Structure 1
Amino acid sequence: MLGVLGGMGPMATVDFMGKVVRNTPAARDQDHLQMVVCSAANIPDRTAAILGEGPDPLPAMVDALRRLEAAGVTCVAIPCNTAHHWHAALQAMTPVRVLHIVDAVAEMLTESDGGGLGVLATSGTVEAGIYQERLAHRGITCRMPDAAGQAEVMRAIRLVKAGQLAEATEILRAQAMALVSTGCRQVVMACTEIPVALAAEEGALRTVLVDATEALARACVRTCMASAHDSATSLAA
C-alpha cells in the first residue's frame, strides 16, 4: 500500500495522486493501487528552513510519516522535491522504503548531458544541491537559472500555491526556454507546483520538459506492482 506524505503543497499532492492513477495499468477499481494520503499542510516551509529563515520541518514530516506507518503502508512517496533534503533522515527513522524523487527522474532522462540538464526548482532545492549531488553520481551536470531567473521561478511557485496559474505559466515558460537557449536538451520541472502550471504546455517546449511528479508516480506504480507480484508468488509457493 502506497503512503503519500503530502500537503507540500496540497494542489501538488492531488496532481501526484492523479498521475499515480493514470500510470496504473488497470481495467477496474480493484486493479489500482491502495493509497493512504497524509496531506500535512502544517509542515513548515522547506525552502525557508534550508535558507535559515524558518523552522525545521522535519518534526512535522516525521509526525506525518508515523501516521502513514500506523496505516500499514509498504512504501512512501513525498511529492515535494525540496522535502527530499530530509530524505536520508526520514529513511533512517523507518523500515518502510521512502522513494527518492531524483532517482525516479533519472529513470526518465533520455538525452545526453552535453549541454547540461536544466532544472527549475525552489531556491531551497537548488541551495541544498538535491539534484546536483544525486545526479552527479550518474555523470549528469545540472544547470539552473541565473539569480534573476531563480527569483522569477520562486515568484511563479508562490503564484501556483495561491491559485494564480496564468501568470505563473508565463513566467515558468520563459525560464524553461531560457535554459533551453543555453544548450539544455531537457529541463526538469523539479518542483511539484511547476507541472501544475505547465500542464497544458504544447509544442516544442513540451518535448523537452521532464515532469518530476510524473516520474515519482511511475516509480510508485512500478514499486507497488512489483511488491504485489512478489507477494502473490510467495503465497502461491
Structure 2
Amino acid sequence: MKTLGLLGGMSAESTTVYYQVLNRLVRERLGGLHSADLILRSVDFAPIADLQAKDDWDATGTILADAARRLETAGAQAILICANTMHLNYDQVAAAVSAPVIHIADATARALEALGVRRPLLLATRFTMEKAFYRDRLAAQGIEATIPAKTDRDRLHAIIFEELVVGDIRAASKAETLAIYAKARAEGCDGVIFGCTEIGLLVSPDDFDTPAVDTAIAHCEAAVDFALG
C-alpha cells in the first residue's frame, strides 16, 4: 500500500470526511483490520480564507506548495488537496513535488462519466463556480458544468463559509440548496456536482432525482485506487 499525503484543513470539517472515507474504502477492499496509510498536514484555514477573499492566489499557492513539500519529505507517495477551490493552486503544488497530485476534478469527471452525466449543476464556492480553472478541467473531459444565477451563487458561498466550514448544518440551508437545484433541473441539468467538499455535509445524493457526485468521495476513491494499485 502506498502512503497518501492529505493537504487538509480547508476546512477541518471536510478533512474529517476524507480521513473516514479513505479508511473505510481501504478496509472494504482489503478486509480485516486494514486501514489507509496516511500523512495529514492540516493548515490553519483562517489566513487562507482571508487571502481567498483578497484574490491573492499567489500567496495561497505558496502556502500549499510548502505544505505539499513537507508531506513528500514525510514520505507521501501521492498528494491530495482536500478542497475543490484550492485546486486553483494545483499547478503550483504539482510543481513543488515529484509525487503525483491527484486532481479532484479528474476524479469527479470519471465518476460523472460512469453515471452518464454530461451537463451537471456545479454547487460550490463562488471561486470554484465563477473562475475557469475547475469548469475548464471538466470541459476538457467532456463535462459541461452549469452554475446557478449570481444571487444563488452568493447564497451558496455564504452557506459554505458561514455555516458548513464550522459544522453548522441547517435544514433551511438544505432547502435553499435544493431549490437552487430545482431551477437548474428545469433548465436541463442532468446531474449534480457537490463541488465543495463540505456540500456533502448538507445534502445527500439521495436528495436529487438525477445522479449526484460527492467530489470528496470521488477524490478518495481515486486516491485508494492509486494507493492499492
TM-score, with length taken from structure 2: 0.88
Please point out which of 176, 183, 189 is paired with 2:181: 176
- Give the conservation status (yes or no) of the 8 Å contact 1:20–1:218: yes
Partner residue of 1:27 out of 31, 35, 43: 31
- Over residues 100-129 of structure 1, what are the superposed CA-to-partner deviations in whole Å (9 max), with x where a residue is unaligned? 00000011112242xx22101111112321
Instruction: After TM superposition, give the deviation of residue 10 of structure 1 in Å.
Output: 0.3
The worse-fitting range, judged by mean Cα deviation, of 171-180 and 214-223 is 171-180
Alignment of 1:190-209 (within 5 A): 190-199=195-204, 202-203=206-207, 205=208, 207-209=210-212
Matched residue, 1:233: none
Alignment partner, residue 231 of structure 1:
none
Partner of 1:75: 78
Report SS of the residue matched to 2:79: strand
Structure 2: unaligned runs, 5 residues or longer: none
Q: Distance in 2 between matches of 1:176 and 1:41?
A: 32
Aligned-partner Cα distance in 2 for 1:217–1:191: 14
Q: How many residues align?
A: 221
Is 1:94 aligned to 2:105, yes or no?
A: no
> How far did residue 63 of structure 1 move?
2.5
Q: C-alpha deviations, 1:143-185, integer Å up to 9, x for none?
A: 0000011011111102112322014323322222322222111
Who wins on radius of gyration, i.e. which is larger?
Answer: 1
**Is residue 105 of structure 2 the alignment partner of residue 107 of structure 1?**
no
In 1, Cα distance between equivalents of 2:167 and 2:142: 37
Relative to structure 1, the CA distance from residue 160 to residue 100 in structure 2 (aligned partners, 3 Å threshold; closer, same or farther) is same
Pick aligned residue for 2:62 from 59, 64, 73? 59
Q: Is the 8 A contact 1:160 1:197 kept in 2?
A: yes
Deviation at 1:53, TM superposition (A): 6.6
CA distance, structure 2, for counterparts of residue 65 and residue 105 of structure 1 = 22
**Structure 1 alignment gaps of length 5 or more:** 227-237
Residue 23 of structure 1 and its aligned partner are, at CA, apart by 2.0
CA contact (8 A) 1:82 1:125 kept: yes
Q: Which moved more, 1:205-214 or 1:89-98?
A: 205-214
Structure 1 counterpart of 2:169, from 159, 165, 170: 165
Distance 1:15 1:69, change over 3 A: same
Q: Which amino acid aligns with 2:12?
A: P
How far apart are residue 88 of structure 1 and its match? 1.0
State how far apart, in whole Å, the 2-side matches of 1:106 and 1:50 are. Answer: 27
Residues 48, 170 of structure 1: alpha-carbon distance in 2 compared, 3 angstrom cutoff: farther
CA distance in 2, matches of 1:15, 1:88: 25
Question: Residues of 2 paired with 1:47 and 1:106: CA distance?
Answer: 30
